[in-house]
């Protein structure tokens, strides 16, 4: 049955835990393994964290936009999972995990980022009600939802997205500042065993495609991700409506919004500072383009989130298999993490006409299950020990013929009931650090080099190294956007 899949699509959004998004969904269905009736491992309403003598219980609904960006760097997640005062000893075992430090970390995390102290420490325990996320809930009920899909490591966006691309982060266990990221190889971040893009390039001339919501997709940071493989998401539906769509693997990246001002405004990634509505619209557009295309019957769509974003989840993440590709003393390994622990659970919905309705999969997955699935479907070798031993998704494709009852359209996203939080832009003279901005600047450099004559590379690298302020970063990013748009117009 697995050979019936000719096209795999993957959409990865940002920074939301499973409990935060689906904990109160009340989804019931059929166990993916036993066929018995089962329910999603969500919340019963009594789960809590305590801080300074006060108990904070999970509640619904959630505010769409967070007043403060919850922290989710490696030390923050150690506290969230292991409690206030917990720390990780480099190269050692992860502390005991009891999921008790989400509130305590949220209460002080603003000191490490932008914004004021949160007025309500219990904000981090708020979870969405089903009617706030009609698109996600409709898909989860119509196909399969995995309630034990964890982030690949207990930390931030970039290393977790790298696991989806290479079953490894190449040792990266933090969000590097611009001063470090500008020293990365101009040819792209290199994994010791290569990436999924490399495997697919060796398999076929039509191995992969990236449809990006903005000009600077994170995957472009990876070595051998060339310009010809990156297309605007605006062209996604039209590409699928054509008579031919040969790409084996398609990655869909959201727009990350306004990183320069630290607001994330205008994005589609569901970043906590920007809200969920635009991301719901992106999920809907992605599904409907595939569902109503000539390639629906042989498609597999994986929708997940890169990491939990600091939001509460009640299930302790278990031990994980290390990729075994990271050299001791790696420049990317700030905390000495051994990658032998998953991060918290994130939502994961698996869509295909070969999947029955209302399947709930309790098996263990992480982002390395993405390359593991692609490898099984297209006869590719594993990249690391992590994907070699990860569960893949092919057993969910249990139907011998494609379903004809899958919805052709999904509900409209719910209107936001939360008043947007007014945030002043960060000072233009401030350093261009924090969140995904340094990575965005690196990706801009990679695209600039690719679109310029070879003789210009040294000048471009020197330009990158000269950026000291957000104003300088803004000017450079705009120049590269214009260069990308000029190339698209010329095609």
Residue 429 in tokens:
């003279």
Instruction: Tell me if 288 is assigned to some domain.
Output: yes
Q: How many CA atoms lie within 13 A of 408 on its CB side?
A: 4
56 phi and psi angles, rounded to 5 deg = -115, 115
In percent, the amount of the chain with pLDDT more than 90 equals 87
* CATH number of the domain residue 288 falls in: 3.40.720
pLDDT 10s digits, 44-70: 999 999 999 999 999 999 998 998 899
Is 445 in the same domain as 387? no
pLDDT 10s digits, 141-155: 999 999 999 999 999
State the chain's mean pLDDT as an integer: 94
Cα–Cα distance measured from residue 371 to residue 145, given in angstroms and rounded to the nearest whole number: 18
pLDDT of residue 114: 44
Instruction: Tell me if 75 is assigned to some domain.
Output: no
pLDDT of residue 423: 76
Task: List % helix, strand, coil for the chain (3-state, nearest 5).
Answer: 35, 15, 55
Task: Show which of 396, 424, 450 is a domain's final residue.
Answer: 396
Instruction: Tell me if 69 is assigned to some domain.
Output: no
DSSP string, 193-210: T--HHHHHHHH-TT-EEE
Helices 102-109 and 74-82, axial angle in degrees (round to 10): 140
Q: Are strands 208-212 and 230-232 parallel, antiparallel or unpaired?
A: parallel
Is residue 331's pLDDT more than 90? no
Instruction: Tell me if 97 is assigned to some domain.
Output: no
pLDDT 10s digits, 183-200: 899 999 999 999 999 999
Q: What is the mean pLDDT of residues 365-392?
A: 98
pLDDT 10s digits, 335-370: 999 999 999 999 999 999 999 999 999 999 999 999
Helices 470-490 and 437-450, axial angle in degrees (round to 10): 40
Is 391 in the same domain as 446? no
Q: What is the mean pLDDT of residues 24-42?
A: 98
Is residue 116's pLDDT more than 80? no
Task: Show which of 372, 396, 420 is a domain's final residue.
Answer: 396
Is 197 in the same domain as 300? yes
Instruction: Tell me if 36 is assigned to some domain.
Output: yes
CB–CB of 403/353 below 8 Å? yes
pLDDT of residue 118: 59
CB–CB of 433/388 below 8 Å? no
Instruction: Tell me if 414 is assigned to some domain.
Output: no
Is 210 in the same domain as 342? yes
Is 471 in the same domain as 366? no
Is residue 311's pLDDT more than 90? yes
Task: Tell me how crowded residue 192 is: count the other CB atoms within 10 A of its CB.
Answer: 16
Overall number of domains in the chain: 2
Query: How sure is the predictor about 285, in pLDDT bands with cuts at 50, 70 and 90?
Result: very high
Is 288 in the same domain as 360? yes
Is 313 in the same domain as 461? no
Pure H helices in 50-176? 74-82, 102-109, 134-142, 157-166
pLDDT of residue 187: 94
Is 236 in the same domain as 135? yes
pLDDT of residue 202: 96
Query: How sure is the predictor about 434, in pLDDT bands with cuts at 50, 70 and 90?
Result: confident
Cα–Cα distance measured from residue 269 to residue 228, given in angstroms and rounded to the nearest whole number: 23
Q: What is the mean pLDDT of residues 432-437?
A: 89
Is residue 484's pLDDT more than 60? yes
CB–CB of 70/124 below 8 Å? yes
Is residue 415's pLDDT more than 90? no
CA dihedral 158, 438, 13, 97 (to 10 degrees): 40
Instruction: Tell me if 429 is assigned to some domain.
Output: no
Helices 277-291 and 134-142, axial angle in degrees (round to 10): 40
pLDDT of residue 328: 64
Task: Show which of 364, 396, 428 is a domain's final residue.
Answer: 396
Is 380 in the same domain as 462? no
Closest of 322, 274, 347, 308 to residue 18, by C-alpha: 347
Is residue 92's pLDDT more than 50? yes
Cα–Cα distance measured from residue 402 to residue 396, given in angstroms and rounded to the nearest whole number: 13
Is 326 in the same domain as 458? no
Is 178 in the same domain as 255? yes
Q: What is the mean pLDDT of residues 248-273?
A: 94
Is residue 380's pLDDT more than 60? yes
Instruction: Tell me if 110 is assigned to some domain.
Output: no
pLDDT of residue 420: 66
Is 193 in the same domain as 313? yes
Query: How sure is the predictor about 111, in pLDDT bands with cuts at 50, 70 and 90?
Result: very low
Range of the domain at 359: 2-51+128-396
Cα–Cα distance measured from residue 39 to residue 17, given in angstroms and rounded to the nearest whole number: 18
Q: What is the CA radius of gyration of the chain?
A: 21
């Amino acid at each position: 049955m697995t050979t019936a899949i000719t096209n795999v699509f993957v959409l990865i959004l940002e920074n939301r835990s499973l409990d935060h998004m689906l904990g109160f969904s009340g989804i019931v269905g059929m166990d993916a393994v036993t066929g018995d009736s089962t329910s999603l491992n969500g919340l019963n309403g009594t789960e809590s964290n305590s801080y300074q003598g006060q108990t904070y219980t999970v509640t619904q609904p959630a505010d769409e936009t967070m007043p403060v960006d919850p922290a989710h760097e490696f030390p923050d997640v150690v506290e969230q999972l292991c409690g206030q005062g917990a720390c990780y000893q480099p190269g050692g075992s992860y502390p005991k995990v009891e999921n008790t430090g989400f509130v305590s970390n949220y209460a002080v995390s603003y000191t490490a980022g932008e914004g004021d102290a949160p007025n309500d420490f219990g904000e981090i325990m708020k979870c969405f009600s089903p009617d706030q996320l009609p698109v996600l809930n409709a898909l989860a009920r119509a196909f399969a939802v995995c309630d034990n899909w964890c982030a690949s490591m207990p930390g931030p966006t970039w290393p977790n997205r790298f696991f989806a691309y290479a079953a490894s982060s190449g040792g990266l266990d933090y969000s590097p500042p611009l001063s470090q990221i500008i020293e990365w190889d101009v040819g792209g971040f290199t994994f010791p065993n290569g990436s999924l893009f490399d495997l697919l390039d060796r398999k076929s001339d039509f191995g992969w495609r990236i449809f990006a919501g903005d000009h600077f997709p994170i995957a472009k940071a990876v070595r051998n991700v060339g310009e010809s493989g990156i297309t605007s998401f605006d062209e996604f539906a039209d590409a699928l409506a054509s008579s031919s769509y040969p790409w084996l693997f398609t990655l869909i990246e959201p727009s990350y919004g306004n990183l320069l001002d630290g607001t994330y405004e205008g994005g589609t990634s569901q970043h906590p500072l920007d809200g969920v509505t635009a991301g719901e619209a992106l999920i809907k557009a992605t599904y409907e383009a595939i569902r109503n295309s000539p390639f629906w019957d042989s498609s597999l769509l994986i929708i997940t989130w890169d990491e939990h974003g600091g939001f509460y989840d009640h299930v302790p993440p278990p031990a994980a298999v290390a990729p075994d590709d990271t050299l001791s003393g790696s420049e990317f390994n700030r905390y000495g993490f051994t990658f032998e622990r998953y991060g918290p659970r994130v939502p994961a919905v698996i869509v295909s006409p070969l999947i029955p309705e209302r399947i709930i999969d309790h098996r263990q997955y992480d982002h390395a299950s993405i390359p593991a699935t692609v490898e099984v479907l297209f006869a590719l070798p594993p990249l690391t020990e992590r994907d070699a031993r990860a569960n893949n998704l092919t057993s969910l494709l249990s139907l011998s013929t494609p379903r004809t009852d899958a919805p052709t359209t999904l509900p409209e996203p719910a209107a936001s009931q939360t008043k947007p939080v007014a945030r002043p832009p960060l000072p233009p003279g401030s350093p261009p650090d924090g969140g995904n901005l340094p990575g965005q600047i690196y990706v801009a450099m990679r695209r600039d080099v690719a679109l310029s004559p070879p003789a210009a590379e040294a000048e471009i690298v020197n330009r990158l190294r000269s950026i000291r302020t957000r104003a300088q970063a803004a000017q450079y990013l705009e120049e590269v956007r214009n260069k990308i748009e000029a190339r698209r117009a010329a095609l």
